[in-house]
Chain A
Amino acid sequence: MQHAVVAIVPELMLVAAALVLLLIDPFLPPEGRRGLSWLGIMACLPAAASVWLARSEQFSTFSNGIALDRFTVFFKILLLAVAVLAMLLSEKHLALSGRLLGDYYALILLATVGMMVMASAIDLATFFVGLELMAICSYLLAGFFRGRERSIEASLKYFLTGSFASAILLFGMALLYGLSGSTNYQQISAAVSSGSLDGHVLVIAIVLLLGGFAFKVAAAPFHGWAPDVYQGAPTPAAAFLSVGPKIAAFAAIIKFFTIMLGSEQARWVPLMIAIAIATMLIGATMALLQRDLKRMLAFSSIAHVGYLLLAMIAAGQSHSSFGSSAILFYLAAYAAMNMGAFGVLVFLANSARFNDSLGEMAGLARRFPGAAGVMAVLMFSLAGIPPTAGFLAKFYLFASVVDAGYAWLAVIGVLFSVVSAFYYLRVIVYMYMREPSDEVATAMEPADGRSWDLSLGLGLATAAVIILGVLPAPILNAAQDAVAKIIGS
């Protein structure tokens, strides 16, 4: 059943749901909007089902612009899961902030469509359309609390740096097109590996592409926007923005660098090594200094990008697809633990008018034992301690780096993970080993912040973290199968 539409059924479902959301929103009274998140979620579930049903398809369509293969299937399901989780985390927070609008869910769905297109594109033009759809929705999500200065600032910063990054990426892509005469990944790959292209221009293209992607995934030295954006954006939106765009960007990075530029790895691997080390260094050391939890999580996510780039080096170097599959598994684990951690902050903001400072975490285990327990599990996972997803993801990732012959890079990576353990453990210190100061105790009056959606979201994220840590085999196999036969390679 190689009909073109099969490849984009999930995207169509989400677009339709987004349109419905936008259309019915103005006609609903404020109370009637409570269920809108479920409209979005109910669009994601059949979309995921349709992806799953087409999992054994392997073809490209739309004039060789979109591929449907195991790789796409893995990313689409992961991105849909992220979207569902983001919507579960958002509902109550938006209601309490007086911004419960269908637009928000529509933006999440459309951003997800953009990300899915990025993951499935095998043509530069298609890829760029997906990228921009994702990016524009992200800017709007960051500024969704338009009454708050911080939120608007975040949106503006995100927009400026993001469009700059898009321009740089576009420039790199234009050079590739100019060199090879095609926008199709496969044909570019053939042209690059023929060795007849101008090496100097190719280097410039590689540098521009790396720079653009570094902006998009918040890798050093272009990471500066991330802390401000995550801090200013509505917390549930920050959860989505810290995970979704990175997943999509890494899907694209894998395809760009292992397929299109795979034969040029001698040119980009050294650059990637420098970026990875700098990213881990800046992420880990700056996170040590943060007193604001959202900024701390922002720098920690920068450090995680550093680890992912290490696996990218393995993916470039290795004869096998080991490095790429490590990235896929790591992204799945990272999505669960990072969104969960932001979700706990959403819960605390809802329940206790919490404003994300580390000091307010003091004595949290007494006031909210459940939330503190979930946060502790997620922190251990982010730090990479078994039996959590974070450990196995790191283990598998560093294994790919060692296997590719970069044991020294793996040693640097694990040492940074010891440094990072310090700031994750500090959150636990505050929650379990400090007593709340009187000021904090009185300032934190429990608001009516209970929400089944949020509890469900946190429960799912925590369960995913533990299941991926104890019985990772199904996801690990899926990740390995996904990268075994990427269309275009």
Chain B
Amino acid sequence: MYSFQSQIGFPILSVMTFLPTLGGVVMLLFMRGRPRLYKSAALAATAATFVLSLMMLWKFDQYTADFQFIEKVNWIQRIGASYHMGVDGISVLLILLTTLLSLIIIPASWNYIKDRELGFFASFLFLETGMIGTFCARDLLLFYVFWEIMLIPMYFIIGVWGGPRRVYAALKFFLFTMAGSVLMLVAIVGIAYLARPDQYAAPVFDLDQLQHAVFSFPVQMAAFLAFFIAFAIKVPMWPLHTWLPDAHVEAPTAGSVILAGVLLKMGGYGIIRFCIPLFPDAVVTAIPYILILSIIAIIYGALVSLVQKDLKKLVAYSSVSHMGFVTGGIFAFTVIGLEGALLVMFSHGLLTGALFLMVGFMYERLHTREISAMGGLATPFPVMAAFLLFFTLGSLGLPGLSGFVGEFLSLLGLFTYNKAMAVVAAAGVILAAAYLLWMYLRVMFAEVRDQKWFRLSDLSLREIASLAPLAGLAVWVGAYPDTFINIIHPSASHLIDHMSPYLAQHGDFLTRFFASLGGGH
């Protein structure tokens, strides 16, 4: 059985997914020892993938929540697994982010890696396949395969090209993620077998069919927990975030950009795509607990960022805080909150990706990331100072830039749900301003620490070229978010519509719960 319905005439999702792998294999087989050639090939492959994703966006129908560009082929027929790909607005937005960041990191790492460059660039191409595949998969087993495939290149990126404690960080990253996802695998198998019409039928991995399956509450709760823990580790939610600072600090710049920009989004994406539609009753029960964890993450991440001495760690912990707005926005269960969460995801990918790039550019010049060792950088590096100011302001939520829109909508969603929680979460925004501006103050202003810095060059054209698209998009999202909200709106409101009967059922319980917290609707 093979079918594909595409408004574009060729199976664009598969081409987009596997083009980077093809590029990586060709590089490994035929371009050994020719750095200029394989770097150009990596650039060409990621650029072509980016162009494909723009074509997809061009032909994407923004007025429906249905999945588009669907491809479906039997894969392992006897166990009911199929190669089923398709995208809705949520996937499209995240795929765009993925292809953009994958394209940007290639020139950004052009001279950064000295050792075994070929493997480095090939790893990122393989990683891109895993990421795009994860956002496209409409079959649980296929999704799991792409989800786990991402681990392998990321493990090598951190472990081979990372900092001094890279082996520890790489193993921790791998084992944390794997521990979460193997439990999800058991849950996947469990629901696939429970969803069969009779015991002789093949299990059901296809999401289109699974969405109509009804599971008993204990099953939903167990499967929800298994899925949610796997996704919460990726998000990462407090208290499962401890792998993140290690991985970020040790990873090479490009690795951090992809990790923060795309891999963290996998968690939120997984919750939206799988947890919520498949286990609605369990999700509704879990709302208050997850909201509380989200708010703890917002405040905790911000407070810990405040005391970081290492610039990269500061940005890493700020991610924990920002991701709290994502889970908070999702579990507020309003269309606005959900759209806010998705915009936070997109904007965090742009801004934090850019911040990690900047930290990398600074490290290449100063060979340190210690905030206390910097100071007065604005004098020798004015262009760098300007860019850092831009992305810092974006990240702390300055209106007009992308960070503000997402966080504002997410808070609005929380506010309609529970005022007290929204107030506490809003304190996270204030704290973000505190740690980011204080960081900027210490790094860029004050007196120049080292006169040698005047002999170093400011940002090169190549570096500016990799930051500029991110800055441009941050302004676009901040100034006219409708472009992006329109893409996700049908899918977001479809999901909330799907959930509303369940929410109504549990409304009483929630009212009581929040009343006991001193809030209320």
Q: Measuring CB to CB, which residues of chain A are less than 8 angstroms from any residue of chain B?
A: 319-320, 365, 380, 385-387, 391-392, 395-396, 398-399, 402-403, 407, 410-411, 414-415, 417-418, 421-422, 425, 428-429, 432-434, 472-473, 476-477, 480
A417 touches B151 (CB 8 A): no
A418 touches B179 (CB 8 A): yes
B76 touches A476 (CB 8 A): yes
- With A399-B203, A433-B166, A433-B167: A407-B76 Cβ-Cβ less than 8 Å: no
B182 touches A387 (CB 8 A): no
Q: Which residue from B145, B170, B200 sits with its C-beta under 8 Å from A391?
A: B145
B190 touches A422 (CB 8 A): no
Question: Which one of B84-92, B153-161, B287-295, B330-338 is at the interface?
Answer: B153-161
Residues of A within 8 A of B156 (CB): 432
Q: Which residue from B76, B182, B192 sits with its C-beta under 8 Å from A418?
A: B182
A425 touches B155 (CB 8 A): yes
18 contacts between A and B (CB under 8 A): A385-B148, A385-B151, A386-B148, A386-B149, A387-B145, A391-B145, A395-B185, A403-B193, A410-B189, A414-B185, A415-B182, A417-B182, A418-B175, A421-B174, A433-B160, A473-B74, A476-B78, A480-B78
Q: Which residue from A398, A432, A476, A480 sits with its C-beta under 8 Å from B186?
A: A398
Interface residues on B, range: 35 or more
Docked complex Cα distance between A202 and B79 (Å): 37
Docked complex Cα distance between A184 and B179 (Å): 46
A380 touches B152 (CB 8 A): yes
Q: Measuring CB to CB, which residues of chain B are less than 8 angstroms from any residue of chain A?
A: 74-79, 116, 141, 144-145, 148-149, 151-152, 155-156, 159-160, 166-167, 170-171, 174-175, 178-179, 182-183, 185-186, 189-190, 192-193, 199-200, 203
B148 touches A391 (CB 8 A): yes
B190 touches A402 (CB 8 A): yes
The binding surface of chain B is classed by DSSP as helix
B185 touches A425 (CB 8 A): no
Docked complex Cα distance between A415 and B186 (Å): 11
Docked complex Cα distance between A444 and B363 (Å): 37
Q: Which residue from A319, A385, A402, A421 sits with its C-beta under 8 Å from B189?
A: A402
A402 touches B186 (CB 8 A): yes
Residues of B within 8 A of A418 (CB): 175, 178-179, 182
Nearest-Cβ distance from residue A467 to partner chain B, whole angstroms: 13
Among B174, B179, B186, find the residue whose CB has the most chain A CB atoms closer than 10 A: B186
B141 touches A395 (CB 8 A): yes
Docked complex Cα distance between A469 and B462 (Å): 40
Chain A, residue nearest B158 (CB) = A433
Docked complex Cα distance between A428 and B153 (Å): 12
Residues of B within 8 A of A402 (CB): 186, 189-190, 193
B179 touches A411 (CB 8 A): no
B78 touches A411 (CB 8 A): no
Docked complex Cα distance between A320 and B193 (Å): 13
A396 touches B79 (CB 8 A): yes
Chain B, residue nearest A418 (CB) = B179
Docked complex Cα distance between A61 and B103 (Å): 66
A421 touches B175 (CB 8 A): yes
B148 touches A473 (CB 8 A): no
Chain B, residue nearest A477 (CB) = B78
A429 touches B79 (CB 8 A): no
Chain A, residue nearest B182 (CB) = A414
- With A418-B175, A418-B182, A433-B166: A386-B79 Cβ-Cβ less than 8 Å: no
B77 touches A425 (CB 8 A): no
Docked complex Cα distance between A480 and B77 (Å): 12
Docked complex Cα distance between A407 and B191 (Å): 11
Residues of A within 8 A of B116 (CB): 365
Docked complex Cα distance between A144 and B185 (Å): 44
Nearest-Cβ distance from residue A147 to partner chain B, whole angstroms: 39
